[in-house]
Amino acid sequence: MLTYETLDTPDGPFTVVEADAAVVAAGWSADADELLARSRHRGEAASPGAVASADAVRAYYDGDADAVAATRIGPVGTEFRVRVWDALHAIPAGETRTYGEVAAALGSPNASRAVGAACGANAIALFIPCHRVTGAYGALTGFAWGVDVKRSLLERERARLAVSSRSDAP
């Protein structure tokens, strides 16, 4: 059974769809069907209700950028795409990597376009942090939910890191 919940965020409505307590689709839309069309659950119906991951989204927007990283997710993709998505989890909040850097880290330095395609196929936005991947030289490119949302997420994460590092200073 698929259940979805839509949350109000500073970046607009954010909907999370869960199946068996795992996030299977998420993004900045109030339309669960739109999100499901990007996932392996295309064409299936979801019912509105409370989802466990909603607390992680709220915590993220309240300043805990790592809250979503601990959430159970259910991505489905090719072996390479799953490897890319796993690599994105290794990018610390507030930091970015280029498509080429991710490809090189996976041992496929010529696969930057394939990394971009994996990011574009990510049906679980925010939980798989494809917003932390940029074009060459840090250019903000290619985000399904718009470059403005990508910029907002990165600025939010960087601002939180700056506050944390100041409070950790002697």
What positions carry a catalytic annotation?
Answer: 130
- One-letter amino acid for residue 52 of the chain: A
Contact 68, 9 (CB under 8 A): no
Total residues found in the chain within this entry:
170
Contact 130, 119 (CB under 8 A): yes
Rounded Cα gap, residues 102 and 93, in angstroms: 15
